Amino acid sequence: MVNKFVKRLNSGLIELMPDRVISRLGEKYIAGHSLEEGITYMHQRWMNDRVMTTFDILGEDSHTVEEADEKMQAYLKAIQMIQALSVPCGYHYHDRPFSISVKPSSICVVNEIPEQDMVQVSKETPLLRRLQELLKAAEDIPLTLDREDHRYTALSLQAEILVRQQGYYHFGGVSQSMLDRTEMDLKSSYRWTKYPFPKDWKRNRMCIGIYDEPEEIAVQKKKEMKERLYRDVSLAFELGIYPEIATHDLKLIKSIVEDLVKPHSREGRCEFQVLKGPAVVKEIEAYLKEEGLALREYAPVEIHSGDGFPYMHRRLKANPRLVRNGMADMLYQLVH
């Protein structure tokens, strides 16, 4: 009850904040304000810390074909820049230091269908064709289709299956443990569907989910979401796929490592993923290095001022501590 009250209080406080304050508080969550800054950050993170990264361009909800086309060109340019780094990599995904993440609403114009509680991609910006173009350009760079709110689930899931069936082994999807349908979706995608490449090349990011979803289709308590995430990772290993476990809960990470990874010699058959920004990332990074396990950090960039605002807004709503600490720091700077 107390946690729910604090969450509501934090959300209300953020809604009252000016955009410039949210942007300043959320600055630590982004890797740069240009493609060049983002790629440089990724390269340094790997060369200095041996931490892998996944690149993303912020600014979902492209409202026009021109906006979607611009994002596509930016991704294609980013892929060329990553390839130009010429960093050696091996067979397995944990040997690939850089990957790409992309949202459907970024590279496509998406129309809402309220009566069906879903979305539809415009014919001018077909999702499947755009993914094919990016995957062909990326060659062996892993590319993940980010999962947005529940209205995108069916759209994204269908695209994931079709793309893999076409042989794009370096393509990955995402599942959100808070949604009631996730366990069945995982079985549908990885147990009951055949693909023309080895099963250990099938890759899926597993997270709780950041969107406010209706209680009719999703659990509302963090404890249940985390229990489901543990279940999903266990199922992933059972299905023989490569899980990308995205969580900042160190206790949960340790449980997964001790219960699911070590006993079955699964080192190298999974990786853990975190966001850039949260203070706990350093602790997670230290623990995983000690255990010899792979870590990948989400490194999004904002190429137009304000494009990162929705992302920063979501992150701040999910992290009351960052809001408190950031406001205290800003107040200190004003006073001194």
What is the mean predicted confidence (pLDDT) over 41-56? 96
Burial of 239 from C-beta contacts in 10 A (0-12 / 13-18 / 19+): middle
What is the mean predicted confidence (pLDDT) over 222-229? 97
Query: What's the N-to-C CA distance of the chain in angstroms?
Result: 38
Q: Provide CB contacts within 8 A for 178, sequence distance 6+.
A: 208, 209, 213, 218, 219, 225, 228
pLDDT digits (tens, 9 = 90+) for 285-317: 999 999 999 999 999 999 987 776 667 666 666
The Cα–Cα gap between 238 and 300 comes to 31
Please tell me the predicted confidence (pLDDT) of residue 87.
79
Residue 221 scores a pLDDT above 50: yes
Work out the pLDDT band at 30, boundaries 50, 70, 90. Answer: very high
pLDDT digits (tens, 9 = 90+) for 258-289: 999 999 888 889 999 999 988 899 999 999 99
Please tell me the predicted confidence (pLDDT) of residue 328.
44
pLDDT greater at residue 326 or residue 138: 138
Q: What is the mean pLDDT of the chain?
A: 87
Domains with residue ranges and CATH for the chain: 1-30+308-336 (no CATH), 37-294 (3.20.20.220)
Work out the pLDDT band at 94, boundaries 50, 70, 90. Answer: low
Please tell me the predicted confidence (pLDDT) of residue 329.
45
What is the mean predicted confidence (pLDDT) over 111-133? 95
The Cα–Cα gap between 303 and 74 comes to 9
pLDDT digits (tens, 9 = 90+) for 177-196: 999 999 999 999 999 899 99
Global pTM value: 0.88
Q: Provide CB contacts within 8 A for 76, sequence distance 6+.
A: 133, 134, 137
Which residues are 243's β-sheet partners? 204
Residue 332 scores a pLDDT above 50: no
6: Cα within 13 Å, side-chain hemisphere: 9
Residue 142 near residue 172, CB atoms below 8 Å: yes
The Cα–Cα gap between 53 and 96 comes to 9
Residue 137 scores a pLDDT above 60: yes
pLDDT digits (tens, 9 = 90+) for 245-259: 999 999 999 999 999
Q: Using a CB cutoff of 8 Å and minimum separation of 24, what contacts does 318-324 make?
A: 318/210, 319/278, 320/6, 320/7, 320/10, 322/25, 322/28, 322/277, 322/278, 323/10, 323/13, 323/14, 323/25
